[in-house]
Amino acid sequence: MSEMATPEELFGSARSLRIQDRAYEILATDAVTWSDTAAPELRPLLPDGDAPVWRAVLVDEGCCLLGSVAVVRTRDAAAAHSVYGDIHRAGTRASCVAFLEPPDHTGFAYPPSGGNWRSSVLWRNYIVLAEVVAADGHTRTADLRPKDMGFDLLTIPIRGIRRIAWAAPAPAPAPVAAPIAAAVADDRESEPDDTAPHDGRDDELSDEEREYVVGAVSVMVRGGFKNEADILEDLPHTVCELLGRDHAGLTEELTLFTSELFRSEKAAEAAWHDVTTNDAIDRAFADLRAERIVALQNAGLTQSDGWSDGEEAARSLAFDLEWDADTADIDDEAREAAADSRWGPVRGAVFYHGQDLARAVHGEGLYLAFGAFAEPGRARADHDAASAAVGHTVREVLARHGVAVEWDETAGQRLFVPPFAWRRRRWTRAPAR
């Protein structure tokens, strides 16, 4: 993308957009810089403060939700990956940038409570940040979830970036396959890119494009959460999602590659006679249930997804525990707190999401988000103390299984498992403890 790229090049010139069966209206767009928009504590992450930032704010057709998206362009993919990692290491679910607000004449306004869904993705040397809030003072409907609008917000600029980036000299490759590949595991159907060729012939495929898609599929296979049949069935959609267009030749190439990689992975797994780090994590996460902590692996694409999945799992866990105040093995204070909590006896959650998985597969270690669930009326200090207590328990349980964890013992810092060989079983059983 050129230095002089306009918001229209990124978000499109049309004011009305449709993704699948969902319609949106763009209320405003602009182009600013990192130093103008980044949260104060994040500004030093990009010393070249003039890094361009493109922003847009949209409303859904039901006037229920407002969505803002910001695209940050760094000097190269390595810088983007570094900044993206620093943002996530901060463990914050707060805004990283000042999102564009709707103009006064539209009648929409951000509510004082701020956003209720935030997420981000990394693509090449671009960081895409999105936030969804209730459209303050306007009609509410139950037809659209913030999470759905959020994913659509992340999709819109990625298409614009792809359209322009493929025509420009490629930036330095990122040290990790772009974690947006993890979005494929969400099985979300995307609207075809109207700019892609549809005459049945494959256009020319660059080495960089092929390497990018093959790397993404490799992570899907090596991650250990999807079987061969499902990945093969989804390959045409996967290629279209990652390239922004269909490519039958690459799909055929990936079919052979995927089958061969599964055979290689199965043969390698047959030689895993020791307890792998993944075995230990599996066992630790299973044990956390007894500690009344939800533990999820590959939970969505982002921290927002993970917390959403965690809340759903917490309700199920609370029901399964069949809470009985007479028999529960907790003290009186904890029993009283559980009786008053909307989450019952469940203390909190720990999880890693799809982007964490991609980095771990590439040998960069594994970040674990954790914390207590929000309770109405609970003071921030009390929430942080409850979250830190969850972190301590998670660390202790992992340690019992031989998994070392780095952590500063605060609620604002995610747990980190230092780099290890990713070996998650699919065909064999782990040896006894």
For residue range 11-55, what is the model confidence (pLDDT) as tens digits? 888 888 887 678 899 999 999 988 888 877 677 777 655 788 999
Check residue 161 and give its pLDDT.
76
| Separation of alpha carbons 375 and 159, rounded Å | 38
Average pLDDT over residues 193-206: 55
| Separation of alpha carbons 173 and 256, rounded Å | 25
Check residue 178 and give its pLDDT.
36
| 125 close to 77: Cβ distance less than 8 angstroms | yes
Confidence band, pLDDT 50/70/90 cuts, at residue 368 = very high
DSSP 97: B
For residue range 131-143, what is the model confidence (pLDDT) as tens digits? 888 876 555 554 6
Average pLDDT over residues 298-326: 80
Average pLDDT over residues 6-12: 84
Question: 165 pLDDT exceeds 80?
Answer: no
| Separation of alpha carbons 286 and 380, rounded Å | 29
**Distance from first CA to last CA of the chain, Å, rounded?**
53
- Nearest one of 156, 100, 96 to 123, comparing CA atoms: 156
Label residue 12 left, alpha or beta by phi (over 0 means left) and psi (-120 to 50 means alpha): left
Between 19-28, 178-187, 406-415, the lowest mean confidence (pLDDT) is in 178-187
Check residue 74 and give its pLDDT.
82
Q: Which of 1-5, 233-237, 292-296 has the highest mean pLDDT?
A: 292-296
Four-CA torsion 194, 197, 200, 206, nearest 10 degrees: -130
Question: 157 pLDDT exceeds 90?
Answer: no
Average pLDDT over residues 296-308: 90
For residue range 61-96, what is the model confidence (pLDDT) as tens digits? 888 888 999 998 887 766 776 777 666 655 444 467
Confidence band, pLDDT 50/70/90 cuts, at residue 112 = low
Confidence band, pLDDT 50/70/90 cuts, at residue 325 = very low
CATH of domain 7-175: 3.40.1000
Domain boundaries, the chain: 7-175, 185-269, 277-417
- Nearest one of 198, 192, 57, 54 to 128, comparing CA atoms: 54
Check residue 327 and give its pLDDT.
41
Check residue 330 and give its pLDDT.
57
- Per the prediction, the chain carries an average pLDDT of 80
